Amino acid sequence: MRWWAFANHVATRLTAPRMDVAAADAAAADLLSASRMGRTALMAWEIVRRAWIESGVRAAVEPLHREWHMADRRGAIRSAGVLGATAALVVLALQAVQATPPGPLVWILPVVVLIAGTVAMVTA
């Protein structure tokens, strides 16, 4: 099988041109920024970025983000368990008050997530 690997390597080297990835990325970025669509996307991104920096939602989420990343492994597992269990309870509550009746087995996934989240909270 060494001959196959050698033949594959030779064929790849002969058919694939050498390319400078950094230069290709820079050329693509220049081409995109020179286009009208690229400038529009960049302006939209700047508007969204400035709005996010001054956002009230960001101010509320940032402490949770910091706390989530400061947690040790066990704390992160507990937090993920709480998050999963809470999401599952919300889904089950919304299904209970849904105007049209859900399918017969639609409750299984939220219950599995609820059990898994509870197990993660207790065992971590």
Give 97's contacts (C-beta < 8 A, 6+ positions apart): none
Domain around 81: 72-124
Question: In the predicted model, is pLDDT for residue 104 greater than 90?
Answer: no
Same domain for 37 and 78, yes or no, is no
The predicted-structure confidence for 47-73, as pLDDT tens digits, reads as follows 999 999 999 999 999 988 888 788 788
Residue whose C-alpha is closest to residue 122's, from 84, 94, 82: 82
8 Å CB contact between 92 and 114: yes
The answer to whether residue 59 is domain-embedded is no
Q: Is 62 domain-assigned?
A: no
User: Alpha-carbon distance 76 to 68, whole Å?
Assistant: 7
pTM, to two decimals: 0.50
Q: How many domains does the chain have?
A: 2
Picking from 65, 58, 114, the residue whose alpha carbon sits closest to that of residue 90 is: 114
